[in-house]
Amino acid sequence: MRHFLLICLLLTLCLGVRALAQRPGAADSLLRLLSTAKEDENKVLLLIRIGQAFENADLEKSKSYYRQARNLGHKIRYLLTEVKFISNYTFALNMQGRFDSSLFWNLKGIEAAKKLNDGEHLAKAFFNTGTSYQYLADYRSAVNYYQQGLALFEKLNKEAYMAQANDILQVLYTAMKQYDKARNYGKKAVAQFRNLNDPKLLAYALSNLGVVYGNSNQKDSSLIYHLQAEKIARSIGDQVLLATIDLNIADVYLWKKRFEEAKTYFDSALQLARKNQISESECAALRGLSYYFMYTGVTEKSLGLAREALACSEQHRLVSEKVLILEQLASLAYLYKDSWKAATYKTESKALRDSLLNEEILRTTINTEKRFELSKKNAQLALQRVSIQRKNLFNWLLLGGLLSLMMMGLLGYRNYSHRKKMQEQRIKELEIEKQLLATQSLLRGQEEERSRIAKDLHDGLGGLLSGVKLQLGAMKGNLILTEEDGLAFNRVLINLEDSIGEMRRVAHNMMPEALLKFGLQQAVRDYSDGLSRGQNFTIQCAFLGMEQRLDNTTEVVIYRIVQELINNAVKHSGASAIFVQLMRHDEAHLNITVEDDGQGFDPKAIKEHSAGLRNITSRVKYLNGKMDIRSEPGTGTSVFIECEINAHG
């Protein structure tokens, strides 16, 4: 099982844009736009698209446009310049086989993405760096960077990227022969591609998972996944994909000695490979058919196909495939009892295999040396940065010394000005405190006088009038009156009753009994209910955190504020609904909200002339509060007050 379908999207993660940019004639149309483009972010993106358009024709020209985009982006300080330049520039470097340079830039791309503090760009940079290591056959480093990118995409819930990363990690762990890890990542990729409803990438993941099971000698499971992949590939008509899947299925059937089924799939793979010019699949299919005829006893046919496969591998320089074909030819030579030729094929096969192994060891050594050199360069750069920082520090200290000499002459004047301003500020604060004390004294005096008058009215005048009413009621029973005089006497009693009620209402408004006995919440509710009873408007009250009572003075001041606001709404707004809310959100602060759906007004025009608003403002200042009035003609009115409730306890 060695036919992988690696989703090597290069993970620049912008292939959709490339597909559009690389249409025939795209470069010419984009160049025409470039001549009139302004030097802004759009021109940077246009230069990148032009570079993408040249990738299939002239990679050096493509890279030159990417460099122009980078220069312009830095000039106009476009934040995404570096990450966009690097992701596209490394794509071109990879196509040129310059994987070392690609790795150098992709590592810079990670640093650029970190400066942006953008998780998605950083995840893409990790993926691109992993791809560079993958091309350099440094699978462990590739896995490390892919896993870092995958973790970020999981955090961002980017399922499409997560699925691709899981499939790539499946292939990389298979290459490192860590099949348990490869299987876990493969199953995740399959589940995610199913959820994304992406049949093509699902077929890739299924076939790769089949390879993992095959390499683990679990051939039945391997065949199940390959057949699922085949069904999808045929349904979407992807012949390139199907050629590799058919090879994998044929390999399984050959291992299971189901030779006729194996031949059917090798024939299909060979036909698709030749039709789509897939040289590696063509050689593998010829080699597979050679094995089929060898196992079924048709050795001449097997030998002819093996030689054809050898010619194919040599023509297309497929060294790994040539090693396998030479081993097949050696087996056939033994069948023909030609031990000398068999030994020749074995020797050549071993030499090629050793050269591949040496190349891998050399590549690993070079990668290790490059990592060491990179670490060494980074250390040198760090030392240079420290040296530059020290020089800069010395320059700044020198400049600071010169500036300090200049500043010393200004310090005396500055200190004098500052003290003067502080004194002026203190005078203003004392004046404000004086005004506030005067306001507090005035409000306390008003409330005390209101309380005294309310008590006198209720207990004094109220009692006298009630006594008069009782005496007149008693006299009525002892008098003989005409019908007309009786009616007049009754009217006097009714008027007296109304006078007593009005006197009590005035006394209650001056100092509500409910406020003193039951607190602010009950007093506001009673006032609102009494005011709206029998009227064509409603008053809705809401109280939050008001279970604990405040001190008497604070409750009285807040009650007067709410009373005045409700009266203003009733008298001037023409509202059908009034909403009152008192909310205590901690021990020290209380919010008052009064809203209505009336005709509204211009607050700037009213404030200067409204005695009611001036009274409210003075009480709000008494509570160290702030008031916000929002209203426009025809839109209703909203008054919000935030005040302190423990400043005067």
Q: Is the pLDDT of residue 16 over 60?
A: no
Report the chain's mean pLDDT, rounded to a whole number: 81
The answer to whether 65 and 51 have CB atoms below 8 angstroms apart is yes
Question: pLDDT tens, 604-616?
Answer: 777 555 677 777 8
DSSP classification of residue 623? T
- Quote the pLDDT of residue 12: 34
Query: What CA–CA distance (Å, rounded) separates 130 from 164?
Result: 13
Identify the top-confidence range among 68-72, 422-426, 462-466: 68-72
Topology alike, domains 9-120 and 518-644:
no
What CA–CA distance (Å, rounded) separates 320 from 596?
Answer: 84
- Check whether domain 9-120 has CATH 3.40.190.10, yes or no: no
Question: Is pTM beyond 0.75 here?
Answer: no
Identity of the highest mean pLDDT range in 166-175, 368-377, 494-503, 613-622: 166-175
Task: Look at 377 and 55; give whichever has higher pLDDT.
Answer: 55
Pure H helices in 197-236: 199-215, 219-236
Q: What is the mean pLDDT of residues 472-482?
A: 68
Residue ranges covered by each domain of the chain: 9-120, 274-360, 411-511, 518-644
Q: Identify the residue with better confidence: 541 or 573.
A: 541
Cβ partners under 8 Å of residue 234, min gap 6: 242
Q: What are the backbone dihedrals phi and psi of residue 590, each rounded to the nearest 5 degrees, phi first?
A: -140, 140
pLDDT for the residue 380 = 66
pLDDT in tens, 394-431: 788 888 777 877 877 787 677 777 777 887 777 776 66
Q: Is the distance from CB of 338 to CB of 330 less than 8 angstroms?
A: no
CATH node for 274-360: 1.25.40.10
The percentage of residues in the chain with a pLDDT greater than 90, rounded to a whole number, is: 24
pLDDT band per the 50, 70, 90 thresholds, residue 579: very high
Q: How many CB atoms lie within 10 A of CB 596?
A: 27
- Residue 433: pLDDT band (50, 70, 90) is low
Over the stretch 313-331, which tens digit does the pLDDT of each residue have? Answer: 889 888 888 888 898 888 8
> What pLDDT is attached to residue 341?
87
Instruction: pLDDT band for 267, please (50, 70, 90 cuts).
Output: very high
Query: Would you call 570 helix, strand, or coil by DSSP?
Result: helix
Q: For residue 640, what is the enclosing H or E element?
A: strand 637-644
- State yes or no: pLDDT of 646 exceeds 60: yes
Cβ atoms within 10 A of the Cβ of 388, count?
10
CATH topology of domain 518-644: Heat Shock Protein 90 (3.30.565)
pLDDT on residue 392: 77
Across 54-63, 255-264, 564-573, 617-626, the highest mean pLDDT is recorded for 255-264
Task: Return all residues near 472 (Cβ < 8 A) that are at least 6 apart.
Answer: 489, 492, 493, 496
Confidence of residue 140 (pLDDT cuts 50, 70, 90): confident
Residue 573 in tokens: 């707004």
Of the pLDDT bands very low, low, confident and very high (cuts 50, 70, 90), residue 468 is low
